[in-house]
Structure formats: C-alpha cells, structure tokens
C-alpha cells in the first residue's frame, strides 16, 4: 500500500532565498501589524508550554499565511484553528525534540560533571583555586562540542522546515509530514540553509533593537518559509486543505 507522501511531488533546488524573503514581506506588508500580533501571541503561548503548544501555534500561523496566499479572508481567531491539528503537530514537535534532547542531555551532564571534577581536584591540589590551563583546555573542548551541537541544530531546523506547513496544507499525519519534510529539506538543503541564514541575520539585527525588534522580523521569517514551501510543493487545492479526522480508538 502506497503512503500518502508518495503521492505528493516536490521540486529539488527550487528555493530562492532572497525571493522568499521579498515575497514573504510582500505577503504580510499590507497587514503587517496583524501578523506581528499573530506571531507574538503564538510565541507567548508556545513559551508557556513549549512541547505541547508549539505545534498547534505553528500550524495556526501557517494556516493564516496560506489563507493570505490564497487571498482568502483571515482573522486573528484563526491562529487557534491550529488546535485542529493538535495531535499531528504534537507528534511532529516530539520527533523534532527527541534528537535535540538526546544530543543536549549528555553534553549538559558531561559539562556539570567536568566542572565539579575540576573544582574538586583544584580544592585538593591548589587550595581551591582552579588551574588556569586545565580550565582553558576544558572550555576549549566544550567550545568545539557546542559548535558541533549548533551545526546539528541548524541541520535539524532545515530538515524540519516543512513539517508544520505540510500538516496544515496537505493534512498529513505528524510522522508523514516529518518524513516528507526531511526528503524535501535534503533536496533543497543548501538553498534552505541560505534562506534560514538570511532570516536569522535579520532576526539578529532585530535583537540589537532592544530585543523587541526580533518580534518585528519573525513574521517575515514565517512568511518566507511559507513562500519556500509554495516553491517546493505548491499549495494544495482548497478542498484538500482540511485537518485530518480525529483518530478512532474504537
């Protein structure tokens, strides 16, 4: 039996980073403050309980963006329509979080153990003052480790770029959305990486504006991803743009 993702075609090397950002800005420009409000509320709710609420909020944001792309009516309450995709978006979020926890968990434990070991050794040998050369070597090693972790996190971000848009636009399950997002992400890896780098740079500039500026840039980042999704997959016909039925436990 064929999987739902086998029926969805995607383009390779289709993402145009600069064009995505420009088109994303054009998409939201006419209702810019509306989208700023959508994103801020979505992020505040996400921060309240990240793993559980992140998926529905991301789906709600992309639902509004896709409706705007189709020139359909949009309203603030549609953000909460993301909860129609709660189960599948939660599964996608969980799949995304698991490798991050598996990478960061041991590193945090190793860091704490290393620091206690150095402090304990210093207390015995140098009257409580740590050896500068040992500390320098320790932090040098962890600097390299953290650099490697950042690379892993960036790769994961690229591969999961289309997971929530696929749940919203194609009604895929969380697992299928992640699988297809990884395939399409690999097929457009360097272009997506370039786009995420540019949007990340814009967000960094926003941070310089007393941090608040970041929230003014993030809507453009979401709109750019929605545009990249359209370049790679195209938007589904409106009649297909429905949440999947709830699972049956009968």
- pLDDT tens-digit map of 203-223: 887 767 666 677 888 999 999
What are the pLDDT digits (tens) for 84-99? 999 999 999 999 999 8
pLDDT grade for 250, boundaries at 50, 70 and 90: very low
Q: What are phi and psi of 177, to 5 degrees?
A: -65, -40
What are the pLDDT digits (tens) for 139-171? 888 888 889 889 999 999 999 999 999 999 999
pLDDT grade for 249, boundaries at 50, 70 and 90: very low
Mean pLDDT of 109-132: 69
User: Would you say residue 247 has pLDDT above 50?
Assistant: no
Question: What percent of the chain clears pLDDT 70, i.e. is strictly above it?
Answer: 86
Q: What is the mean pLDDT of the chain?
A: 86
Among 13-22, 104-113, 127-136, which is the least confidently predicted range?
A: 127-136
pLDDT grade for 64, boundaries at 50, 70 and 90: very high
SS (H, E, C) the chain: CCCHHHHCCCCCCCCCHHHHHHHHHHHHHCCHHHHHHHHHHHHHHHHHCHHHHHHHHHHHHHHHHHHHHCCCCCCHHHHHHHHHHHHHHHHHHHHHHHHHHHHHHHHHHHHHHHHHHHHHHHHHHCCCCCCHHHHHHHHHHHHHHHHHHHHHHHHHHHHCCCHHHHHHHHCCCHHHHHHHHHHHHHHCHHHHHHHHHHHHHHHHHHHHCCCHHHHHHHHHHHHHHHHHHHHHHCCCCHHHCCCCCCCCCC
Mean pLDDT of 55-84: 95
What are the pLDDT digits (tens) for 227-244? 999 999 999 887 555 555
**Residue 182: its pLDDT value, please?**
96
**Residues across the chain:** 250
What are the pLDDT digits (tens) for 165-192? 999 999 999 999 999 999 999 999 999 9
Mean pLDDT of 78-88: 95
**Residue 230: its pLDDT value, please?**
97
User: Would you say residue 246 has pLDDT above 60?
Assistant: no
How far, in Å, CA of 174 to CA of 166, rounded? 9
């Amino acid at each position: 039996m064929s999987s739902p993702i086998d029926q969805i075609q995607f383009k390779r090397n289709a993402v145009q980073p600069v064009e995505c950002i420009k088109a994303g800005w054009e998409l939201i420009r006419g209702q810019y403050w509306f989208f700023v409000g959508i994103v801020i509320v979505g992020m505040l709710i996400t921060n309240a309980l990240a793993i559980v609420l992140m998926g529905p909020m991301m789906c709600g944001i992309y639902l509004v963006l896709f409706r705007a792309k189709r020139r359909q009516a949009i309203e603030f309450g549609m953000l909460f329509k993301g909860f129609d995709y709660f189960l599948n978006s939660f599964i996608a979020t969980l799949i995304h979080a698991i490798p991050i926890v598996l990478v960061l968990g041991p590193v945090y434990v190793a860091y704490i153990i290393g620091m206690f070991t150095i402090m304990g050794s210093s207390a015995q040998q140098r009257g409580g003052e740590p050896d500068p050369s040992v500390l320098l070597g320790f932090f040098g090693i962890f600097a390299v480790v953290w650099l490697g972790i950042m690379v892993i996190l960036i790769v994961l971000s690229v591969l999961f770029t289309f997971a929530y848009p696929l749940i919203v636009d194609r009604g895929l399950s969380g697992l299928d959305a992640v699988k297809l997002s990884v395939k399409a992400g690999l097929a457009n890896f360097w272009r997506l990486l370039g786009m995420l780098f540019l949007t990340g740079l814009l967000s960094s500039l926003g941070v310089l504006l007393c941090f608040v500026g970041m929230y003014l840039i993030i809507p453009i980042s979401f709109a750019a991803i929605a545009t990249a999704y359209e370049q790679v997959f195209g938007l589904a016909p409106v009649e297909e743009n429905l949440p999947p039925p709830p699972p049956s436990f009968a």
